[in-house]
Amino acid sequence: MIFKDGEGKTRRSKGVSYLYGVPKEPLKRDRSQTAAYGPPTNQSNQYNNTMKHVLSFCFFGLLILSCDKSQSPPDGLEVGQTFTVNDTRITFSQVENDSRCPCEADCIWEGVATVRLLAGSDTLRVYTTDNGGFSKTTTFEDKTIRLVSLLPEPCNGQPDSQDDYRLKIAVE
């Protein structure tokens, strides 16, 4: 539609704009290249298929990584308790020594507690640190046993006896 504006200039509506009195054609899009308009093209199909493969790969990768292959007792072990993993019995025998730094003290190093485990007829030891030649892990048969935590931490004279300890381990 052509009309005159208030200054007497000729104007055209419906998609045509003027720049300094000269008509300027609107941009025309090739809508066949855009997935939202018209039938999909080979290029957009390839993109969609590639994205499906990438997303599937990421999903299954995360699923595999989320599978924890280690087993552990849910609430930890008290002294004398036994945990069975694939016909292997692991017993929390005792805490042989506990020289961990008390919670209210400033220590030069963290200290260490030695935990004795019985697995089959073997005596195993794990420690609360990996520093100073100690290790939180030990192996028995084809399994790795890792100390996760030993509670309570020494604070205000705690723990008083062997019965106060609770051990968390992971068997992989």
pLDDT, mean over the chain: 76
Q: Is the pLDDT of residue 16 over 60?
A: no
Task: Using the structure block, give the residue that is written with the tokens 């997303």.
Answer: 55
Average pLDDT over residues 122-143: 92
* 12 in Cβ contact with 2 (< 8 Å): yes
Range of 101-105, 128-132, 158-162 with top mean pLDDT: 128-132
Q: Where are the domains of the chain?
A: 2-66, 77-171
User: C-alpha angle 68/62/46, rounded to 5°?
Assistant: 160
Quick one: pLDDT at residue 20?
53
pLDDT in tens, 54-108: 666 655 555 454 444 556 566 789 999 998 888 888 999 999 999 898 888 888 9
